[in-house]
Amino acid sequence: MSHQGRIKNNDTGDKATDSYHLYMRDIEMLKELKVTSYRFSLSWTRILPDGSTNKINREGIDYYNKVIDALLKAGHRTTSYHITILIYLFHYIEMVVGKTGQQICFQEFGDRVKTWFTINEPSVPATKPLETSETGGEYIKTRNLILAHAGAYRIYEQEFKAKQMGKVSIVLNAVWMEPKNSNIPDDVTAATRAMEFTLGLFANPIYKNGDFPEIVKQQVTNRSIGNSRLPIFSSEERKMIKGELYFDELFENTYFLNEY
């Protein structure tokens, strides 16, 4: 659309913040603003250009190393990340992004990076591109994203934490729902159900019991024709997913910027 001359001044958006080239000036401005924490995306297309670990782009890794070193030199207390993902990786995301791909980042950057966010706002890629809930596509993607996060978390805990002493978590997003009338039981139930179908889809497995919320399982099963559209977690997967994933510190004066 933007390349069809439909934007004012024929702007295309091909170049936005351009942090790839201007990162040193960005870091200077962070220091001027007295920002102590900086969070930015690791682009998988820059690290794994063909979407697999068959080809690792050293130039991309060198770029992130320069950014990390410059941030530390500027005196930033914490450097933390969230991960962008390739749309076509959804069927392989558990293996590539959650496990092997993430392990590359721990190996390359973990000596200096002590705070990791595996996935930023996973409910967004779970529902985009838009798929109707009748196909169950959003639930399959939700399951894969949860397993990807859990795989990355466990790899760090087992192979890197003792030496690197960092922390791994996930950034969940949600819209808060309240009943129209808190004195009407049906309204309260509806608000609770809405929260479980948004925040609860991810928070319940990760922070509570390794599985989808009961109200979600019941509702999807009742509205499915034949087998439930909601995929299941095995007992081993539930054990892997459930974890004490929290941070015991607040990230004040934190700045977040996409590099594009």
Confidence of residue 134 (pLDDT cuts 50, 70, 90): low
Confidence of residue 245 (pLDDT cuts 50, 70, 90): low
Structure tokens at 185: 């039981």
Give the rounded distance of the alpha carbon of 104 from its chain centre. 17
Omega before residue 129 within 30° of 0, cis:
yes
Q: What is the pLDDT, as a whole number, of residue 169?
A: 87
Q: What is the pLDDT, as a whole number, of residue 256?
A: 52
Mean pLDDT of the chain: 82
pLDDT tens digits for 35-48?
888 888 888 888 88
Q: What is the pLDDT, as a whole number, of residue 128?
A: 74
248 has a pLDDT exceeding 60: no
What percent of the chain clears pLDDT 90, i.e. is strictly above it? 41
Set out the domains of the chain in order of their start, with CATH numbers.
22-257 (3.20.20.80)
Structure tokens at 136: 């169950």
112 has a pLDDT exceeding 70: yes
Confidence of residue 98 (pLDDT cuts 50, 70, 90): very low
Name beta bridge partners: 169.
117
Helices 185-196 and 214-223 cross at an angle (nearest 10°) of: 90
Rg (CA), the chain: 20
For the chain, the DSSP string reads: -GGGT-SGGG---SSSS-HHHHHHHHHHHHHHTT--EEEEEEPHHHHSTTSSTTS--HHHHHHHHHHHHHHHHTT-SEEEEEE---GGGTTTHHHIIIIIIHHHHHHHHTTT--EEEEEESTHHHHH-S---TTTTHHHHHHHHHHHHHHHHHHHIIIIIHHHH--EEEEE--------S-TTSHHHHHHHHHHHHTTHHHHHIIIIIISS--HHHHHHHHHHSSSS-SS----HHHHHHH------SS--TTEEEE---
pLDDT tens digits for 77-94?
666 665 555 444 444 444
Predicted TM-score (pTM) of this structure: 0.83
Q: What are the phi and psi torsion angles at 247 (to 5°)?
A: -110, 140
Per-residue pLDDT, averaged over 17-41, amounts to 88
Q: What is the pLDDT, as a whole number, of residue 249?
A: 53
Report the distance separating Cα 119 and Cα 124, nearest Å. 10
Report the distance separating Cα 27 and Cα 33, nearest Å. 10
pLDDT tens digits for 186-238?
999 999 999 999 999 999 999 999 999 999 999 999 998 888 999 999 999 99
Q: What is the pLDDT, as a whole number, of residue 32?
A: 92
